[in-house]
Structure 1
Amino acid sequence: MNLPKLQSAQSWDQLRKDESFWEALRQDILPQHLYHCRWFGGKASVVQQVFFSQKLLLKSGFQHYYLLLIEVFFRESYAHNYFLPLAIAESREKLPAQAVLAEIQLADGSFYLIDAVHDSGFHAALFRKIVNHEMLMEGNNRVFFRAHQELEMEPEGFRSQLLNAEQSNSTLIIQDRYYLKIFRRLFRDKNPDFEMNEFLAQQKLFENYPKLAGLIWWEPGPGVNISLGLMQEKVPNEGDAWPWMLKEVEQYFKNGDLAGLSAIDKWPLVSPLKISKLPAALQQNPGLDFFKRIRTLAQRTAEMHLALAAVKRDRHFAPINYNGDFTVWLKNRLIYQFDARYNLLNKKLESLPENARLLAEKVLEQKDLIINFILGFDEEQLRSLRIRIHGDYHLGQILIQGHDFFILDYEGEPESTIRDRKVKQSPLKDVAGLLRSFHYAIHAVQKNQNLRSLEHQAAGQSLYQAISGVFLHSYFKIAFQQQLDIGYRKEITYLLHYFLLEKAIYELGYELNGRPDWAIIPLEGILDITDEIKRHAY
């Protein structure tokens, strides 16, 4: 790969004086480089211009780094803001291609200009500043580094590693004890993950999340807080709950007496079910231990919501009632999303596999029912409270530790704006997200192993209803006992149907754009929900 070249008569630590260098970087290099960055969210758009909103020099001993806030304008008439820290390296040998921006000739030598998250010295500088509660100040700009607990640099030396799995942010493992998440897409407000972790740490009411260790934020002016980093304790775990669930479902189909399972009656979609009332076949396979773990997961979910609903005087977290403004926002958001998905489904109909196309045609026939259900949302019929919620709750956001669960990643739905992610909603939206995740896991196994017989489908449906029922029974019990206001029985059913439909519509767009052969899963989910809507005659 031929790298672009830059030069300056200045040394690295004095480079800020050379405006022509930064102009060349801004105009000639960044517009192309951004498309190679995993965290860049504008790959489907055309970059028109890039500007530096802020440029600060971070010093750590003899090492220097530049912290850039860049504003990216797109031809489609919108803009994004990103965080790009810069470092220099003498060699590019061990660096991934996307880490290197240019080859540069400076007064103090020849170097490679790199994204500083690939530099272990930068990792150490951030951690040291968090440990020491430092502040970087220049003009009206202030960058704060704050530890939330007693931290120290370990005497045997600093160790760090950049994780490659994450897309929208950059995450470092520090001393094998902490995760330091660097936010790349920035907003002129606290990132929801930053804000929620800060709140939970202050509350001390919920234990099952990675404990807060430190925060980094930028204040470019009075009253503006731009979240840059979030450091948490590394939770010992056996991985997230998605592969665990897939393994359990695979074993279920492998061991199951399908004839017995297919004979199990179909319960309503959102009906709570005691473990003791499970049919004998399900008590044997997947077994009582599995359903007890589902019950524990429901308990942790309810405890998270209880903590988020506990404060009455903080306007960012105090529970509030439904009102007309929320209803208008919700209807407009979901109608817009459904219209986009409906048009996309029509456009891609002929290219879908036959089994998915048949389901898609059925979904298209339900257009009026779905629109009427969405527009029929009536806040005057709702008596429950809205709170801040997780917002993107699924099995991949849950870590397994023995027979327990830890909930992480409170950043919210990636497709939503920062303001939408902070809108207070019913905690049942999180519940619906997890129920959809259960549904996905079962259907993913059926798809991957080609388990398409009527017996397999009935057995999968029975398992889904059982998992959902046990989860709901435990969640409802704790919510009612601890006075978490999720509504009365009819209201709960209505809200769950609404949020299940919203989630399935969201999933449909994701699959049609990325994995059309997987669209069958949200299509089946939408049809299950519309059947329930007809049954309840909303």
Structure 2
Amino acid sequence: MIDLKGDNLCEGRDLRADVKSCLETEYLPQYLHERRWFASKGGSPPLVTIKEAISMEPAGGPVLLFIEERTQRPQMYFVPVGIKRSPTAPSNVPYICEVQLVTGRGYLVDALEDTSLFVDLMSAFEHAQENGSLSKLGLKLERAAGFPTKVTASDVRRLGTEQSNSSLQVSSALFKAFRKLEGGLHPELEMARYLSGPGHFANTPRLLGSLEKLYPHPITLCLVQKMIENRGNAWDIVCQFVSRQNSKNRAQLLELAALLGSRTANLHTALALGVETEFSAEPILREDIAKWIADLYKNVNNSLDALVGHPSEACQRLVTRREELYSAIRDLSPPRVHSLKSRLHGDFHLGQVLVTSDDVFIIDFEGEPMRTFAERRAKYPPMKDIAGLLRSFDYVVATIDGTGNRNLNSEVAATIHEAKRQFLETYRAEASGFPESINEANALLRLFMFEKTFYEIRYEIYNRPGWVDIPVAGALALLDGKISLFDG
């Protein structure tokens, strides 16, 4: 317990020194260690420093904590907190610590985990924007028509399980707070501004607003988008279709796959036609190919090293084929490349697609979480996104395979193969920048299928070790030439 000797965390605008010390040494390390969005999940609780605390009005209101994990490569996290005044611990939300107030006991709680504290947070942002104090705090709030105002508890709904960010539905808007911070404009905010504006891509949620910290350098903290009423994400719906095999579900799956191909083609067209330098297509250079293959060598080597000694039989089979892998990578370079590179979704999979009654909407443009902002903003051939979605279809087969129903498994694999073919055929027919040479398209797709599969291996090792056999099986299949490609 922390004795606040008052009713708030701060003295004036500054976090009290004794409160800061207690939080850093006793309470925040364990709290962060247990969060899904905290990157360093293994080992012991981290060493942390509160680098900055921004106290919002009124006094005793929300405090924005910027917490640095002290490692060789320091990482900053965003945790807005508030005091929940109650004699008993909250039963439905995690809390950071108990606090003693002049008026009784309370609990320090993450404001993104508690509805009443989140309402206080939104009210504080709105009040500071209107009275002009927000800029004095080093914050910038942008609001467009549809941005939620005068939020009440009945407007707020938490969405699903905790992910790498924290998302809440607020009236008809989606509020997303980025937990792991990096300097500069966040790729998802940059993409949302472009696609909602000059990109004119209708099949993504419209941007309603954003919150940025301006000093000592710009950092994106939150964004707000229009909520899309939907039947669920494409991952869940595809799994439903294939786990209940019948002619109606098969037809609906192929229809969905075609729609995915069409909307993916529309997206890639929008991302290649921008007049701004950041959103215009460029020729692929030989130096690009050389870099992508060199990066793949490095990732394959690191992945195989991490798999040495793994108890899985599949992992050991892949490790023993190291030299064969190196040989396969050497053969991945296309002889000639006339295609273009552009900005992409960057982490495209079935879970990033919302399915409505008659359409699909593509969401979450922040890119692969293990990559830096610079890497996520880099331009690539559209085949990188295509590889991501094909690998997502493969994950469906592997997930259903876990049921142990052999007859269902073989049917699922055949149905998913048809769905992938439908997706590829529709994409090829509608993508304005599709390569003139089918051989070139397939060479690039093969390269990025290897790249995505080994990214997945590293991701699963560090985040979901029980799933690592799925991408390992995918890597073995690639080595054996089992890959979905565009038909010639």
1:173 and 2:166 matched:
no
Residue aligning to 2:109: 114
Amino acid at match of 1:87: G
Residue aligning to 2:66: 69
Q: Quick check: 1:53–1:69 contact (8 Å CA) kept in 2?
A: yes
Amino acid at match of 1:387: S
Give the TM-score of the pair, scaled to structure 2.
0.87
- Distance in 2 (CA, whole Å) between partners of 1:324 and 1:494 is 14
User: In the alignment, which of 388, 394, 398 is matched to residue 349 of structure 2?
Assistant: 394
Matches within 5 A, 1:489-504: 489-504=438-453
Residue aligning to 1:104: 99
Residue aligning to 1:292: 255
Q: Quick check: 1:47–1:72 contact (8 Å CA) kept in 2?
A: no
Residues 117/285 of structure 1: CA separation in 2 closer, same or farther (3 Å cut): closer
Q: Quick check: 1:136–1:144 contact (8 Å CA) kept in 2?
A: no
Residue aligning to 2:25: 27
Amino acid at match of 2:20: W
User: In the alignment, which of 30, 34, 37 is matched to residue 36 of structure 1?
Assistant: 34
Matches within 5 A, 1:312-461: 312=275, 314-323=276-285, 326-327=288-289, 329-348=291-310, 351-352=311-312, 357=313, 359-360=314-315, 362-375=317-330, 378=333, 381-451=336-406, 457=410, 459-461=411-413
Mind listing any 5+ residue stretches in structure 2 that lack a counterpart? none
- Distance in 2 (CA, whole Å) between partners of 1:190 and 1:397 is 21
Question: Alpha-carbon deviation of 1:146?
Answer: 1.4
Residue aligning to 2:140: 144
Q: Quick check: 1:88–1:114 contact (8 Å CA) kept in 2?
A: yes
Residue aligning to 2:211: 216
- Distance in 2 (CA, whole Å) between partners of 1:293 and 1:339 is 37
Secondary structure, in 3 states, of the residue corresponding to 1:340? Answer: helix
Amino acid at match of 1:235: I
Residues 108/17 of structure 1: CA separation in 2 closer, same or farther (3 Å cut): farther
- Distance in 1 (CA, whole Å) between partners of 2:473 and 2:344 is 26
Amino acid at match of 1:320: E
Amino acid at match of 2:444: L
Residue aligning to 1:226: 219
Residues 163/471 of structure 1: CA separation in 2 closer, same or farther (3 Å cut): closer
Secondary structure, in 3 states, of the residue corresponding to 1:368? Answer: helix
- Distance in 2 (CA, whole Å) between partners of 1:37 and 1:156 is 26
Show CA shifts across 1:376-410 (max 9, x none): 55487322111111111111111111132111111
- Say how many residue pairs are matched: 482
Q: Quick check: 1:147–1:215 contact (8 Å CA) kept in 2?
A: yes
Residues 90/512 of structure 1: CA separation in 2 closer, same or farther (3 Å cut): closer
1:529 and 2:474 matched:
no
- Distance in 1 (CA, whole Å) between partners of 2:262 and 2:215 is 41
Residue aligning to 2:238: 245
Which range is displaced more, 189-198 or 327-336? 327-336
Residues 151/513 of structure 1: CA separation in 2 closer, same or farther (3 Å cut): closer
Residue aligning to 1:307: 270
- Distance in 2 (CA, whole Å) between partners of 1:89 and 1:517 is 37
Which range is displaced more, 6-15 or 503-512? 6-15
Q: Quick check: 1:12–1:108 contact (8 Å CA) kept in 2?
A: no
Which range is displaced more, 286-295 or 398-407? 286-295
User: In the alignment, which of 2, 5, 22 is matched to residue 5 of structure 1?
Assistant: 2
Amino acid at match of 1:345: L
* Pairwise CA RMSD: 3.2
Which range is displaced more, 225-234 or 154-163? 154-163
Residues 431/195 of structure 1: CA separation in 2 closer, same or farther (3 Å cut): same
Amino acid at match of 1:396: G
Residues 6/522 of structure 1: CA separation in 2 closer, same or farther (3 Å cut): same
Show CA shifts across 1:334-364 (max 9, x none): 222212222333311xx32xxxx2x545534
Residue aligning to 2:429: 477
- Distance in 2 (CA, whole Å) between partners of 1:310 and 1:130 is 36
Show CA shifts across 1:238-284 (max 9, x none): 111112111211223xx4xxxxxxxxxxxxxxxxxxxxxxxxxxxx5
Amino acid at match of 1:303: N
1:78 and 2:33 matched:
no
Give the TM-score of the pair, scaled to structure 1.
0.80
Which range is displaced more, 333-342 or 115-124? 115-124
Question: Alpha-carbon deviation of 1:318?
Answer: 2.4
Residues 404/130 of structure 1: CA separation in 2 closer, same or farther (3 Å cut): farther
